[in-house]
Structure 1
Amino acid sequence: MKSRTAETGSFGEAALNILPDGRISYWSHGAQRLFGYTAAEIVDCSLFDRLVAPEHASALRKHVEGAAPGMDAVSVGFSCVHRDNRVIDVSAVIAPIVGAGGTIDGFTMMVEDTAIRSGYADRLVAIIEAMPTGVLVVDEAGSVDMVNRHFEYLSGYARDELKGMKVERLVPDSHRAAHAGYRTRYNENPVPRLMGNGRDLKLRRADGTEIPVEIGLSALAVPSGKQVLALVTDISQRVETERRMSRQQAELERSVEELSTFAYVASHDLKSPLRGVIQIAQWIEEDIADRETVTGHLNLLRNRIGRMERLLNDLLAYSRAGRGAGGRGRVDVQAMARDIFELLAPPAGMTLQLEGEMPTFETLRTPLEQILHNLFSNAIKHHDRPAEGTITLSCRHVSPFFFEFTVIDDGPGIAPQYHDRVFGMFQTLRPRDEVEGSGIGLALVRKIVTTFGGRIWIGSGEGRGCAIHFTWPRVIESEDVNEQ
């Protein structure tokens, strides 16, 4: 065996060689740092008489003298005496140096100060415990061998609960069956990598909740066998930020689309009342002598100007939808609906019915009022038999996160081919001279609903009646819409 005489990188490690009779034949700089002797002072001196503590010298001498060719390297512990007479506890790996004839020509020793080694181990444990990333060590059978403090926090389990636990218990139910296969394939090709690239990984906590995580894997070789080191990072904040950015991107794209629609349609709809005003002014000029005709033209002029004012007011409301939503408060939907219906001053004979359990909950009052106001107003305005009409508001608890409200009327209804069209800006199904309106009401409602994460759709078919459904969040986390 070739002599090991290379220097080591650690202050607490030393390399030295001894001859079969125990005399030191090589002394490294690491040995000088560890024991205080220079090579000139110690080489050719007996290891057992000069360096090893007397109580351990005899046992170490027997081990060296009893070595035979083919003997494996062994690890032993003993005490040595420093040049200044301090006693140092060391651990050493001793391997025979076999000559060309098969005889033992000596021994090489790698010696380490156990106190320094213990200090390094303590520091390493302290570093692992202080890491802001979860550390999880799993053995080849898939049982948890070691965790750090942060992983206890992430998982919600105590350390003694995790020790020996199958790692699959920390995997969501939906991925648990496949995880053992992933683990087997990694053990077959144990290269450092991020786990689950392209998949959303989650850690199942002790209380059954799941958090999104990123996991880095590395293989470990330890005396007890193969192990896998997993570094687990909670990415909940990053996922939430990405979700918000995605929502804001969608909102931006929708705003750009709305702006494009507005630029195209408003140029026509805003010009139309103005052209009418110009035309009526010409008629007045022509008929100035006919007082009765002029009076009629002036009434038309007032109507056209009123229509344009309503259009501009509705455009302003649409542009502000979702912004300045007002404060959060406790809302009784049943009382709110009745108040809105009465304020609209419906025709005599028209009634409001409430079905289902109307919630009372904390929410933003103003946008919800705007939605119900517009839907009730549309149902009244477009009803062909208002004196016997009925508007029905119902509510269903469709999920832990949303209510589903439905406004139903028994008016003429909306044909299926127009269900998407009516939510566009400036869209009306009847001429504005028959029914006053800007065509922005349902577009405004849709914008408010989608701003707060809900959706809106029409459920009526051919024939009479219209049912407009929309979802509304049970909890609005922030009053700032941009943070929704």
Structure 2
Amino acid sequence: MRDCTIQNPQAKKIALASLLLLSVLMALVVNLYFGVDVVYTHVFYIPIICAGIWYHRRALWVAAGLGLLHIICDSLSAHHLTGASWMSALVFIGVALAVALISEKRDALYNELHKINQAMLDMVIEVDPDGIIHYVSPSSMNVLGYTPEELLQRSIFDQVHPEDLPSVKAQYDAALSGRQSLSLTCRYRRKDGIYSQIEAAANPLSDVSGGLESCIIRFRDIAKRKQAEDEVIRTKQLLADVIDFLPDATYVVDQDKRVIIWNRAMEDMSGVPKEEILGQGDYAYTIPFWGDRRTNMLDLIDVGDEEIDRNYKDIHRQGNHMSAEAFCPALYNGKGAHLLGVTAPLHDETGKRIGIIQTIRDISVLKESIESFEALFMKSPDAYMIMEIDRGVISDCNEATGIMLRGSREQIIGKTPDEVSPGYQPDGRLSSKAAAEKIAESLRDGGNRFEWVHQRLTGEDFWTEVCISTITLHGRSVLLVAWRDITGRKRLEEEQNRLMKELQRSNAELEQFAFVASHDLRAPLRAIESLSLWLEEDLAGILPAESAEHLWLLRERTKRMEALLDSLLEYSRIGRKKAEVVLVDTAALVKNIIDSLDISGRFAVTMTDLPCFSTARGPLNQVLSNLIGNVAKHHDLAKGCITVAAVQSDNLIEFSVIDDGPGIPEQYREKVFGMFQTLKPRDEVEGSGMGLALVRKIVEYNGGSVTIHAAEPRGAEVRFSWPLEIKGG
């Protein structure tokens, strides 16, 4: 592996030129002065061989030139051309060609070896029997961080870890003395001072006499490999830990069907500790399930087996993965259980199968649930259907569906939804297209509810309410369709719509009546009032006192009638016009009401926790004004107290108007909310009897409620709730 030839190109040129010059001078001198050619012709071989070694086939030109020189010199000395000189020239050319071919082959082999040497990841060194390094491959930089020159003439043992050195030396000496190959691992110091794990392989080389000449040693840094091996070990341990803590019972067997993993869930299910089963073969893993040794799902991975298949049902294959259900009678001390097993092969990184894994889940409760579902499904008074998602057909239905469609179960199964529907739905869409859209919505959202017109097998159309849900049945997704006949409800809705139209017409007539009452009836009342005044003026001095009192009563009745009309008009307008929502300070609102009623001198008014919030000012003002006005109107004492309070909850405010007046007897607390209702004769109290009726309608229209309670020690308390978000009627 050591090359002793001249490597410098310039040195080669100088050496070859010097040899040629000496050869030519020798030929001329010897031939001219001595007349002999034996010596110099042998000298010509030296530059020819060197040219062949260094310049390969270009040595032919050197041989040809020297041959021509030999022919010329020979002819000069002999005064004629001889055959010997021509033969010598041809020999020169032959020698040059032979050397060139050998050198080319040698250099090609050397270059190939050099490329291999350069490409090698391993470091290769040559040492003598004493362990002194004489050759180092370029890969030393990658393996140890040293250049080849830095390692030459150093001992191979210099970088060995002190703890490993005695063992390495002993193994090395034993290998050399026995002329045997050696392979060992040790810690070797890199240039950066770090000891790296090295794998070394040594091959002693003998000389021609059989003595030890040198030793070729290959160094390989296996630190990364060791890390990878450690990582594989950690990964395998992690995988084993993961499998061990899986909630599903899981076990793994190797290619010889010996148990290599048996997790905790499997211990709990089978009652067999892993210590008793690991390493066991000969179908020992089937005993806890079946009570004996037998083939099972693991044997169905590659090929089917009718005898094994009989123990399982709902077998599904996807590639070489398989799932199946079975009842295993030996589990849980002979009680048995329905199990779902999933089996798959395990492969290494090369794709070679190394084992089989099986995961098992107890589905006994699920099986019971499915059986209960199927029983309820068939016997339910409501109509149910099962639809296949992929084919879009009815795969099952219960008795109620047959009754609803006026057909047998056999007639219904296999039909599509549009086949039990009229051609078009009430909105004008094709039933087939509309059904596809509803199914797509159900799959997208996980369920759907809608109304649909179906058609009985006898040809009658009828309305249904349909509820579709996606469920898993026997391991596959299907659509559960629940539906009921709502023809009666649709008739009621139509009747309700008719009544609503009647109500709207009645409301329009009422509005027209209110308009007439407020305008057309008001004018005669004003005329009556004016006529009574004119009579009183015309008959002044002669009108009897009794007649004057009658005229006064006439005018009062006219005013009362006008007030009734105003209250009636106001009552009819509630809810027709939406009031503007503004920020309302209820304390300021109550103060304005007290001032407008001019009762501050008679009543002591207390306001407690009145809020400031956004609401319809007009309706709230009317409610509070009517309630406070009622207190002032019906109070039986010269002086009184009024308390207006509020309590706020999540979405409403409860107001209270409390007085210390005569109160309202319990039997009248609901009656007073009626229209034109008063507790005193109309001649004794001013008012239309519409105040509390207006209060209730405004409060209830806006989503609240109003009630009357007794106050202590006397008086009444009116409570009404006012939502924070109102309609504003």
In which range does the TM-score fall when normalised by the shorter chain?
A: 0.3 to 0.5
TM-score, normalised via structure 2 length:
0.31
Larger RCO (alpha carbons 8 Å, 6+ apart) = 1
Pick the structure with more helix per residue.
2
Q: Which has the larger radius of gyration?
A: 2
TM-score by length of 1: 0.45
